[in-house]
């Protein structure tokens, strides 16, 4: 599989004709193949903004912890969240990862849900919990287990595996 990458012309090295428009297109085999200047946004604990389509047809934006494996984006959600139903009805999501130290350095990823795994699945469920523990450590620096389960309910999780359709890049750190 290849992923289409649109490289926007940025202003990191000064003004240029056509700035803020797509300069060229390229392809990569996976997110891990992106240039390091953008891959670091994936690997460092940069909070992503995810956009999913709600019941009213409008975009709903939410900050989420980001993770990926090769060419698959992993989105781990509590099953009682509205985003779960919205993704099941309209299985497309867009992620924006913006460098918190320079908002003119960002990466956008358009995705489609390829599958989902319930934490309660007897075979694959432990993978959901392990991935949740992984992002807990990535974003908080704390050891597992994940420490933010809602204590008022038996919070269960679902792991959405999203295939990458397109990527857009902009700027430098």
Q: What is the domain class of 3-163 according to CATH? A: mainly beta
Name the H helices within 5-124.
Answer: 36-43, 82-89
Binned at pLDDT 50, 70 and 90, residue 157 comes out as: very high
pLDDT at 1 > cutoff 80: no
19 versus 95: which is more confidently predicted? 95
Contact 143, 136 (CB under 8 A): no
Contacts of residue 105, defined as CB under 8 A and 6 or more positions apart, other chains included, come to 12, 37, 41, 98, 99, 170, 171, 172, 173
pLDDT, tens digit (0-9, with 9 covering 90-100), for 98-145:
999 999 999 999 999 999 999 999 999 999 999 999 999 999 999 999
Contacts of residue 172, defined as CB under 8 A and 6 or more positions apart, other chains included, come to 10, 12, 13, 37, 102, 105
Residue in the structure block whose two tokens are 């996976």? 30
Domain ranges of the chain: 3-163
> Between the CA of residue 33 and those of 2, 12, 14, 36, 151, what are the distances in Å?
10, 22, 27, 8, 40
- Give the C-alpha separation, 131 to 144, whole Å: 10
């Amino acid at each position: 599989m290849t992923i289409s990458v649109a490289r926007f012309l940025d202003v990191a090295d000064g003004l240029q004709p056509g700035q803020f428009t797509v300069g060229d297109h390229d392809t990569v085999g996976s997110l891990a193949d992106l240039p390091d200047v953008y891959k670091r946004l994936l690997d460092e604990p940069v909070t992503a903004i995810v956009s999913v389509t709600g019941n009213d047809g409008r975009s709903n934006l939410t900050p989420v912890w980001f993770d990926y494996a090769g060419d698959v984006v992993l989105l781990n959600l509590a099953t009682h969240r509205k985003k779960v139903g919205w993704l099941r009805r309209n299985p497309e999501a867009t992620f924006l990862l913006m460098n918190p130290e320079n908002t003119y350095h960002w990466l956008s990823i358009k995705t489609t849900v390829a599958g989902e795994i319930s934490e309660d699945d007897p075979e694959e469920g432990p993978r959901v919990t392990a991935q949740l523990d992984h992002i807990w450590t990535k974003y908080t620096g704390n050891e597992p287990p994940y420490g933010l389960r809602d204590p008022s309910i038996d919070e269960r999780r679902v792991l959405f595996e999203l295939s990458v359709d397109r990527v857009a890049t902009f700027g430098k750190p």
